Amino acid sequence: MAKKLAEEAVEVAIDTMHGDCDAMVRESADLLYNLVVLWVASGIHPKDVWMEMERREQLLGIAEKLPKERPDAPLRERPDAPPRRKVIALDRSRVRKRR
C-alpha cells in the first residue's frame, strides 16, 4: 500500500509539471484515497492528522519549514508567541497550461 501511495504522489507531481489540471484532480483523489487506506491499516484516525496540522499551524503558521530568524526582523508583539510564517503563493508561471 505504501508503494501505491508513493506512485500516486509521483503521478500528481508529473501532472503538475505538465500543467494537466484534470489529471491532477484525478490523481489527487487516488493519492488521498490511498493515504486514508494506509492510515486505517496503521490504526491512524484522520482526526489525529488534523490535530497535528492544527498544532503545526499554531506553532509555525502555514509553513513548509521553520522560519530563519533575521537580525533585522521586527520584534513580535507578544514575546511568548511563536513565530509565524507568511502564506506564500505557489509560482504558477512555470506550469504549462493545458490547451
Domain ranges of the chain: 1-44, 46-89
Amino acid 41: pLDDT: 93
Quote the mean pLDDT of the chain.
78
- Distance from first CA to last CA of the chain, Å, rounded? 34
Which whole-number Å values give the CA distances from 18 to 31, 48, 50, 85, in the listed order? 18, 34, 30, 29
Task: Using pLDDT thresholds of 50, 70 and 90, give the confidence band for residue 77.
Answer: low
Amino acid 73: pLDDT: 52
pLDDT at 9 over 70: yes
Lowest mean pLDDT among 11-25, 26-40, 45-59: 45-59
Q: C-alpha 11: how far from its chain's center?
A: 16
Helix (H, G, I), strand (E, B) or coil at 61: strand
